[in-house]
Amino acid sequence: MDRYKKLRLKMVDSQIRARGIRDERVLKAMETVPRHLFVEEVLAEQAYQDNPLPIEAQQTISQPYIVALMTEALELTGREKVLEIGTGSGYQTAILSLLADQVFSIERFSSLALRARKILEALHYYHVAIRVGDGTYGWREESPFDAIIVTAGAPSVPKAYIEQLAVGGRLVIPVGDRYTQDLIKITKTSDKPDGLVRESLGGVRFVNLIGEHGWDS
């Protein structure tokens, strides 16, 4: 077993399983995806530590536990079409690709989208489409989505995400101010105005969701 594999197993046991993540498919995916390849080479030794790390364009790769928490909340079985807002390093995208049928991911920085696409292709993580654009609009032509995950903090939930979420679908999004947010899970039980069930998953801190229906740059 290579050293990074050992670090992944330790990460999952001590940081993720120990904090209550129980979905075995999520745990297996995080044991599998080589997180160190999604950060700069000089940070590879820190990739499995219990914290986020910087990537280019002043963005971050999320703390492993937060990736697991958000992913588990999506309740993926392998048959879903998933929308990811904020491709970033591509690490979360890779996790999703192992757990869903199709993943559509939007990134506002072309340099990040290009790098993520190259890494995902090199690692043979398929069923992923990445495009560059304003993620606050969602991806209407591919909707509805069974699950939507937003990896940036929003001032409120963009209307497009609710509209593009299938009935029975789950949306996980950090909502709050520019510095701290509440991680919210929304389940769409119907298309009626009262057909949304909200659940708080705890406090988080994400980079800002920039766009027409998010924060100004």
What tens digit of pLDDT does each residue of 33-52 get? 999 999 999 999 999 999 99
Give yes or no for a contact between 93 and 103, defined as CB atoms under 8 angstroms apart: yes
Ramachandran class of 20: left when φ > 0, alpha when ψ lies in -120 to 50, beta otherwise: left
Q: What is the CATH number of the domain that holds 115?
A: 3.40.50.150
Terminal Cα distance for the chain, rounded: 44
What is the Cα 183 distance to its own chain's centre? Answer: 12
Percent of the chain with pLDDT over 90: 97
Q: Is residue 166 part of a domain?
A: yes
- 3-state class (DSSP) for residue 126: coil
How do residues 57-74 score in pLDDT, each as one tens digit?
999 999 999 999 999 999
CA nearest neighbour of 125 among 149, 99, 88: 99
**Range(s) of the domain holding residue 100:** 52-204
Judged against a pLDDT cut of 80, whether residue 95 lies above it is answered with yes
* Spatial separation of the C-alpha atoms in residues 10 and 14, rounded to whole Å: 6
Q: Please give the mean pLDDT across all residues of the chain.
A: 97
pLDDT at 1: 62
Asked if residue 194 belongs to a domain, the reply is yes
Per-residue pLDDT reduced to its tens digit, 153-200 = 999 999 999 999 999 999 999 999 999 999 999 999 999 889 999 999
Residue 29 lies in a domain: no
Hey, which residues are catalytic here?
62
Give dist(CA 29, CA 34) in Å, integer: 10
CB crowding 153-163: b at 16 or more within 10 Å, else e: bbbebbebbbe
Does residue 20 form part of some domain? no
Q: Is position 18 within any domain?
A: no
More confident position, 2 or 110: 110
Q: What is the pLDDT of residue 217?
A: 83
Q: How many domains does the chain have?
A: 1
Which contacts (CB < 8 Å, 24+ apart) does range 103-106 have? 103/127, 103/128, 103/129, 104/128, 104/129, 104/131, 104/139, 104/142, 104/145, 105/129, 105/130, 105/131, 106/130, 106/131, 106/132, 106/133, 106/134, 106/135, 106/138, 106/139
Q: Residue range 121-139: average pLDDT? A: 97
Q: How far is CA 178 from the centre of its chain?
A: 18
Domain assignment of residue 186, yes or no: yes
Is residue 191 a part of any domain in this protein?
yes
Is residue 38 situated within a structural domain? no
C-alpha separations of 13 from 2, 17, 40, 45, 97 in Å: 17, 5, 24, 18, 22
Apex 58 CA angle, 118 and 40, nearest 5: 45
Q: What is the mean pLDDT of residues 133-162?
A: 98
pLDDT > 70 in the chain, percent: 100
